[in-house]
Amino acid sequence: METPDDIKNLLGPNEKVELYVKEKIYHPQISIDSMVVTNERVILRHPHALGLKKDYTDYSYSDIVGVAMDKDLIRSTIKLTLKGKGESLELGKLPTPLAEEAYGRIRENVGRFQAPFATGYANDPQTTK
């Protein structure tokens, strides 16, 4: 699915969209949330006012400490545990194949952003040569 232009305008110079997930709901609804997984963060898009206005919330991978997925046959939920209070963010009603792909990409990016700090070698003079 093509990434909307309003999302493209929010991206940093080296940021790339890895996955765009439009949440699908089977009953009529005017505003449908979507999620964008980039190589630097997760962006949530919240259209409102009949789609004329949009709000955005983004979470850097360095702020995410855990990722879990509740998998169902048709729809699944991804739960992101955020730093600080240990609160979690639920991304629900996602089509299962897209939720699986998003889960894998988010886990990979969280690991990539936290690996140097988690291993304790970030400031090791022998590894920075």
Query: Given a cut of 70, is residue 5 above it in pLDDT?
Result: yes
Q: Rounded to the nearest 5°, which phi and psi values hold at 20?
A: -120, 125
Residue 97 structural domain: 5-114
**Rounded to two decimals, what is the model's pTM?**
0.76
pLDDT score, position 49:
66
Q: Where are the alpha helices (DSSP H) in the chain?
A: 5-8, 96-119
If one counts the domains in the chain, the total is 1
3-state secondary structure of 9: coil
Question: For 62-116, what is each residue's pLDDT tens digit?
Answer: 999 899 999 999 989 899 998 886 678 888 888 899 999 999 999 999 988 876 5
* CA–CA dist 102, 97 (Å, integer): 9
Q: What is the CATH number of the domain that holds 21?
A: 2.30.29.30
Which region holds residue 117: left if phi is over 0, alpha if psi is between -120 and 50, else beta? alpha
